[in-house]
Amino acid sequence: MKDITLKLDRNDKIISLLSQNIEILNKVSRFQTAVKQLEYYQKKLLDLNSRMEKDLSTIEKEVADRRAALIELLIPVIRIMQVFAHDRKKENLQQKLYFLTPENVQGASDTELIKISKKIWLVANKFAGFSLSFSSKIKSLLDSDNSTDTLKFEKEYGLSPNMIKNLEKAILGFIKSMVVFQGEKDEKEKLATKVKKFNRLTKKLISNKIDRFAILFESENPDFYHEYCEIRGNQLKKQEKESLNQESDPIDILAEEPPISKVKPKRKPKSPKKLSSEK
C-alpha cells in the first residue's frame, strides 16, 4: 500500500526529529508521553504492514494450476457420462449434464466448479459401478458379476477406475489449495483493519497532541519548529495555537496534570417510600 508507506515514512521523520531534540521534550512531560505513544503506534504499524505485504502470488498460482488440472480431468468424464445418458435414454441424467459444456465448466467460479466436480464424481461412480466406500470396495472385489459390469462399462465408454481416482485426488487437491489461499486472504483483511485502526490513532495523536506541543516552541526554538513544519506540511494547523491560553505560561500549563479530587460526591437522600393506599 503506497499510501501507508508514505505515512510510515513521515512518522519516522517526526520521531527522528523529536529524538534529536530531547531538551525540548524534557521541558514538557506530556510531550514525552505523546512521543512514546507515537513510537509504540509506529512500531505496531511497521509490524502489521510488513505482515500485510506478504506475497500470495505463489499460493494463488497453485490454486490456478490445481484448477486447470481438475478441469482437464473433469471434462472427459463429463463427456463420457453425457454419451452414456444419451445411449441409455436416461432423460433425468441428460438434463443434469446438458449445460455442462467445456465453456461453462471453464467459466464456472471456484465454488461452482467444486459442486460440478462432486456431482460428476458421484454420477460416474454410481452408473459405472465403482465403489464409493471401503466396505463396498471389498464387496466389489468378491462379487465377480459386479466386476464384470464395471469392466463392461469401461470397455464400452472408456471410463476407467483410474480416471475416477485421479479426479477424486484433483478435487481434494483443489479444495485444499483454495482453503489455504482463502485463509491467507482473510488474514490480510484482518491485518488491513488493524492497520487502519493504528493509522487513525496515530493521526489523531499527532494532530491533537504532538502538533500542539511543537507549536509551543515556535519562538523559543524556531529551527526545530520550522523543520517540524516541513515534515508536517499543510497538515499542521497553526490556528490550534489559539486554543491554548496565551496569558499563562503554556509550559507550566502542560507540564503538570491538574489535581484529581478524591472526594466522593454526596449521595442524594432517598425519597421516602409512598404508603400504599388503603383498600
**How many Å apart are CA 31 and CA 242, to the nearest integer?**
18
Match 494463488 to its residue by C-alpha cell.
Answer: 60
Look at residue 128 in the predicted model and tell me its pLDDT.
81
Sketch the domain layout of the chain as residue ranges: 2-55+188-248, 57-183
Look at residue 82 in the predicted model and tell me its pLDDT.
94
Look at residue 252 in the predicted model and tell me its pLDDT.
46
Look at residue 160 in the predicted model and tell me its pLDDT.
87
Low-confidence residues of the chain: pLDDT under 50: 133-138, 141-142, 144-146, 239-261, 275-279
Match 485421479 to its residue by C-alpha cell.
Answer: 166
Over the stretch 134-173, which tens digit does the pLDDT of each residue have? 444 445 544 544 455 566 778 888 888 889 999 999 999 9
Supply angle C-alpha 8, 11, 14, rounded to 5: 155
Look at residue 239 in the predicted model and tell me its pLDDT.
40
Of 196, 213, 192, the closest CA to residue 14 belongs to 213
Look at residue 154 in the predicted model and tell me its pLDDT.
80
Which grid coordinates belong to 80?
463420457
| Cα torsion 40, 42, 45, 47: sign | negative
CA dihedral 204→207→212→213, nearest 10 degrees, is: 70
Look at residue 245 in the predicted model and tell me its pLDDT.
44
Over the stretch 29-51, which tens digit does the pLDDT of each residue have? 999 999 999 999 999 999 999 99
Cβ contact 251:212 at 8 Å = no
Match 490480510 to its residue by C-alpha cell.
Answer: 188
Largest CA distance in the chain: 105
pTM summary value: 0.68
Angle, nearest 10°, between helix axes 144-157 and 110-128?
A: 120
Which grid coordinates belong to 13?
521523520
Look at residue 259 in the predicted model and tell me its pLDDT.
44
